Amino acid sequence: MHSLLIETVTKRYGTTLALDDVSFVVDPGEFVALLGPSGAGKSTLFRCVTRLVAPDTGVVRVLGRDMSALGGQELRLARRDVGLIFQQFNLIGRLSAMDNVLAGRMGHASTLRVVLRQFTRADRQLALAALDRVGLLERAGQRADSLSGGQQQRVAIARVLAQQARLLLADEPVSSLDPQSAENVLGILRNIARETGIAVVCALHQVDLARRYADRVVALRGGRKLLDVSVNAFDQNAFQELYGAHPG
């Protein structure tokens, strides 16, 4: 079963064709870089996966489930399998790293239980293991807003691990980080994919980072899929095709 299947997905906003007949699949343990300039449709694609946006046509399957066929509790459960990572980390600054990771146990529910600290022993063990995996166990008690950008992004990754997501969608996760932290975060995401079988789709601008960390590159431009190649095939010609050869 594919972790993610995108089949002939089209999405318009008024006259803007944000996604134009896009199809690809991502398998367990794969790290796919979703490359493309600003406006290419990367974020829209992620929103279609989580059904924040309904595609006009096409099918999205997460772990085999057709997201458009689900509602209510079924959709909530399906969304729990999808971990979201954003450029701006989206942590609760005044809470500790640990409490932010524990929030991953809540899915999309309110922060009330987080604030009340009503978590089981199993929840806490999962959260600590997740912090350990991103190398921040010793920062568990530290306020999130006192951590560096790279550390905050690692807490956000730990949060989706604690959520026990099986598909991670990272939307430009390194765009506000310094180069060293960016490499660190991408290395962690790559290792998670390899070692846990979680599928990672990571939107990036930087071709060189995609080349060094991804298994496969899917490139969008103007809402259309231009490339879907293994990283070994992503050579200078592919680069030209993505950023040079085609007008508009």
What residues make contact with ligand ADP under the rule CB under 6 A?
Answer: 13, 16, 18, 36, 38-44
- Of 43 and 50, the one with the shorter C-beta distance to Mg ion is 43
Q: Which does 79 bind (CB under 5 to 8 A by kind): Mg ion, ligand ADP, none?
A: none
* Residues of this chain that bind Mg ion (CB under 5 A): 42-43
Could you tell me which of 130, 176, 181, 175 has the C-alpha nearest to residue 156? 130
- Of 8 and 16, the one with the shorter C-beta distance to ligand ADP is 16
Instruction: Give the sign of the dihedral formed by CA 61, CA 63, CA 69, CA 71.
Output: negative
Beta-bridged to residue 202, according to DSSP, are 33, 170
What does 32-89 look like in DSSP terms, one character per residue?
EEEE--TTSSHHHHHHHHTTSS--SEEEEEETTEEGGG--HHHHHHHHHTEEEEETT-
Q: Are strands 82-86 and 167-171 parallel, antiparallel or unpaired?
A: parallel
Q: Which does 193 bind (CB under 5 to 8 A by kind): Mg ion, ligand ADP, none?
A: none
Q: Which does 13 bind (CB under 5 to 8 A by kind): ligand ADP, Mg ion, none?
A: ligand ADP
- Of 42 and 105, the one with the shorter C-beta distance to ligand ADP is 42
Q: How far is the CB of 118 from ligand ADP (least distance, A)?
A: 36
Could you tell me which of 148, 123, 145, 136 has the C-alpha nearest to residue 188? 136
Residue type, 144: A
- Of 87 and 191, the one with the shorter C-beta distance to Mg ion is 87
- Of 16 and 111, the one with the shorter C-beta distance to ligand ADP is 16
Q: How far is the CB of 115 from ligand ADP (least distance, A)?
A: 31
How far is CA 60 from each of CA 1, 2, 41, 110, 235, rounded to the nearest angstrom? 13, 11, 15, 27, 29
How far apart are alpha carbons 240 and 177 in whole angstroms?
Answer: 26
Task: Give the residue closest to Mg ion by C-beta.
Answer: 43
Task: Please state whether 170 falls in left (phi above 0), alpha (psi between -120 and 50) or beta.
Answer: beta
Q: Which does 41 bind (CB under 5 to 8 A by kind): ligand ADP, Mg ion, none?
A: ligand ADP
Q: How far is the CB of 226 from ligand ADP (least distance, A)?
A: 13
Indicate the helix (H) or strand (E) that contains 194.
helix 179-196
Q: Which does 39 bind (CB under 5 to 8 A by kind): ligand ADP, Mg ion, none?
A: ligand ADP
Q: Which does 40 bind (CB under 5 to 8 A by kind): ligand ADP, Mg ion, none?
A: ligand ADP
- Of 32 and 131, the one with the shorter C-beta distance to ligand ADP is 32
Instruction: Give the sign of the dihedral formed by CA 195, CA 201, CA 203, CA 206.
Output: positive
Instruction: Give the sign of the dihedral formed by CA 102, CA 85, CA 93, CA 183.
Output: positive
Q: How far is the CB of 12 from ligand ADP (least distance, A)?
A: 9
Q: Which does 8 bind (CB under 5 to 8 A by kind): Mg ion, ligand ADP, none?
A: none
- Of 13 and 135, the one with the shorter C-beta distance to ligand ADP is 13
